[in-house]
């Protein structure tokens, strides 16, 4: 059974903290994605990666960075958390362009 | 203009009725089309995908694609209260790399 896991389901951090969100997939997929989801705005792409050590900016990369040191692991980093980064964060991986995305369970991050 | 547009709803149908969900997209180079279902607080799960013009049926679900009109729809027959969720339309595009563009989703309520 395919699986994408995320390090935390719920996270509460303070403004200015550095936050790490980790995602691991066991499907040997090369392509991984980080989204945030907010009410009324849908899923917005933050960053994606086509291969180890490769990364591409999505639609809303400001305030975020990513790391892909191993094929199975894709980390999202909030360098200095702010309250407007309170959101649901979803990681996904995909086999190829015509295939479905497999999503992790999501991390609900609250920045106070 | 948003790349993938859906009516946000809510769409309310009685149990046993047909629910019709619609989606339009802007990129004529789009290659693949997906419908995801998302329950509140959960991550999206794929329910249908379609690549070619026409209809594709899977159980109570039928996806319809019209590339000339840039239109994709999802029909749910014999709607059940358990179908109540947000339905996300997604389009796969190849832009040098590839990514999936999601609509904001349509909320469906099936009344018992």
Which DSSP string corresponds to A54-111?
--EE-S--TTEEEEEEETTEEEEEESS--GGG-EEEEEEEESSTTSPEEE---EEEEE
Please indicate whether, in this complex, the C-beta atoms of B102 and A105 are within 8 angstroms of each other. no
Q: Which residue of B has its CA nearest to A39?
A: B104
Residues of B in contact with A99 (CB under 8 A): 32
The residue among A54, A98, A102, A108 with the most chain B CBs within 10 A of its CB, best to mutate, is A98
**pLDDT at residue number A27:** 87
Phi, psi of A71 (to 5 degrees): -60, -40
Residue ranges, chain B, pLDDT below 50: none
Which one has a higher pLDDT value, A102 or A77? A77
Region A71-94: mean pLDDT is: 96
**pLDDT at residue number A4:** 94
Residues of A in contact with B46 (CB under 8 A): 100-101
- Compare CB distances from B104 to A40, A45, A90 and report the shortest one's residue: A40
The token pair at B79 is 């709607």
- Give the CA distances from residue B48 to residues A93, A100, B1, B36, B76, in Å, rounded to whole numbers and listed in that order: 17, 9, 25, 7, 11
**pLDDT at residue number A42:** 84
Q: Give which of B66, B27, B28 is closest to B50, Cα–Cα.
A: B66
Cβ atoms within 10 Å, residue A41: 12
- Above 90 in pLDDT, residue A62? yes
Region A53-79: mean pLDDT is: 94
Please indicate whether, in this complex, the C-beta atoms of B88 and A50 are within 8 angstroms of each other. no
With H, G, I as helix, E, B as strand and everything else as coil, classify residue A84.
Answer: helix
Q: Tell me the shortest Cα–Cα distance from A19 to chain B, in angstroms.
A: 21
Rounded CA-CA distance A91/A73 in Å is: 10
Rounded CA-CA distance A68/B98 in Å is: 18
Q: Is the dihedral of CA A109, A70, B98, A105 positive or negative?
A: negative
Please indicate whether, in this complex, the C-beta atoms of B97 and A50 are within 8 angstroms of each other. yes
Residue A61: partners with Cβ closer than 8 Å, 6 or more residues away: A46, A47
Region A86-103: mean pLDDT is: 87
What are the pLDDT digits (tens) for A5-31? 999 999 999 999 999 999 999 988 888
Cβ atoms within 10 Å, residue B18: 12
């Amino acid at each position: 059974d395919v699986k994408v896991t995320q390090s935390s389901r719920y996270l509460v951090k303070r403004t200015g903290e550095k936050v790490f969100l980790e995602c691991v997939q066991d499907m040997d997929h090369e392509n991984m994605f980080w989204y945030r989801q907010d009410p009324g705005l849908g899923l917005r792409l933050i960053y994606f990666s086509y291969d180890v050590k490769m990364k591409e900016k999505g639609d809303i990369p400001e305030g975020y960075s990513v790391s892909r040191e191993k094929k199975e692991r894709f980390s999202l980093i909030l360098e200095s958390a702010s309250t407007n980064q309170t959101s649901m964060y979803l990681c996904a991986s995909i086999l190829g362009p015509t295939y479905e995305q497999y999503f992790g369970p999501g991390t609900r991050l609250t920045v106070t | 203009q948003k790349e993938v547009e859906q009516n946000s709803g809510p769409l309310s149908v009685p149990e046993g009725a047909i629910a019709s969900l619609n989606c339009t997209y802007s990129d004529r180079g789009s290659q693949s089309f997906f419908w995801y279902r998302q329950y509140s607080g959960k991550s999206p799960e794929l329910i249908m995908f379609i690549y070619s013009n026409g209809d594709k049926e899977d159980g109570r679900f039928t996806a319809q694609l019209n590339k000339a009109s840039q239109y994709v729809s999802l029909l749910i027959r014999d709607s059940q209260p358990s179908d109540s969720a947000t339905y996300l339309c997604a389009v796969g595009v190849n832009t040098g790399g590839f990514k999936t563009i999601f609509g904001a989703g349509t909320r469906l309520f099936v009344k018992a």
